[in-house]
Amino acid sequence: MTLSEYRKKRDFERTPEPAGKKRAKKARDGIFVVQKHRARRLHYDLRLELSGALVSWAVPKGPSLDPGAKRLAVRVEDHPLDYADFEGVIPGKEYGAGEVIVWDKGTWKWTPTPGRAHARNAAEALGAGKLDFTVSAKKLEGRFVLVRLGKEPGEKNWLLKKVRDEDAKPGSDVTSERPESVLTGRKIEDLRSSAG
C-alpha cells in the first residue's frame, strides 16, 4: 500500500485533509470507516485499514443492511490512517471539493467462508477480488462481502453486499434513517454553511 497517489492529488497547504503520518499499531482489528462526501456527486467512501493504509471504495448509493441490495463500490486510491477521523470541508478548487462527515466508524476483520477460503489473509483476498469481512461499528454490523467485477486486478468496479445474518435488515435504508455523523451528530448539510 502506498500513499503516493493520494498525496499527489492534494495540496496539503490548502486542504484540511491529513497528509498521513499515523502509523499502524499491531494486534487489533482494523479501522472501519464510512465517510459521507458531498463532492460533485454525493457518495459514501468505505475504507478498511489494511497494511498500514485505508483501502478505499466510493459507494454512490452508500452501504445497506438489506441483504438484497447490491451496491456498486468503485475502488479509489488508498488513504492514510488518520483520514478515518477527517470531517470537514475540502475547499472549492481542490481534489474532491465538498463536505465530508464520518458517517460510521468502528472495526473490521477478515472472515473467510469456512472451507472456501482460497486466500491466506485479507491482503490476498483483496488481490483475488473477494473480501469477506465482519464489521463492528455504530450503524453497520455483521458480515459483508466485497466482490470485484471481472478478473483483472486493475478492475475498479466492485459490489458491496450485506451477508444474510442476524444483523441483516431486509427492506431497511440505513443511510436515510441515520444521516448524521457518528463523531459530531452533524448532518452533511450542517457543514455547508461553514464552507469557505
**Site residues (vs Mn ion, CB under 5 A):** 37, 45
Q: How far is the CB of 73 from Mn ion (least distance, A)?
A: 12
For Mn ion, the closer CB: 30 or 62: 62
Identify which of residues 103 and 133 has a Cβ nearer to Mn ion in the complex: 103
Beta carbon nearer to Mn ion, 45 or 49: 45
Smallest Cα–Cα separation from 124: which of 110, 137, 134?
110
Residue 145, classed as helix, strand or coil, is: strand
Rounded CA separation 132/25 (Å): 22
The dihedral of CA 121, 110, 73, 52: what is its sign?
negative
CA dist 18 and 107 (Å) reads: 20
Question: Residue 118: helix, strand or coil by DSSP?
Answer: coil
Between CA 139 and CA 169 the distance in angstroms is: 12
Q: Min. distance of Cβ 115 from Mn ion in angstroms?
A: 36
Please answer whether residues 45 and 35 qualify as being in contact, where contact means their C-beta atoms are separated by less than 8 angstroms.
yes
- Our CB check for Mn ion shows the closer of 86 and 108 to be 86
Closest distance between Mn ion and the C-beta of residue 98, in Å?
8
**Least distance to Mn ion, CB of residue 191, Å:** 14
Q: C-alpha cell of 67?
A: 441483504
| Residue nearer to Mn ion on the CB measure, 40 or 116 | 40
Least gap, CB of 4 to Mn ion (angstroms): 18
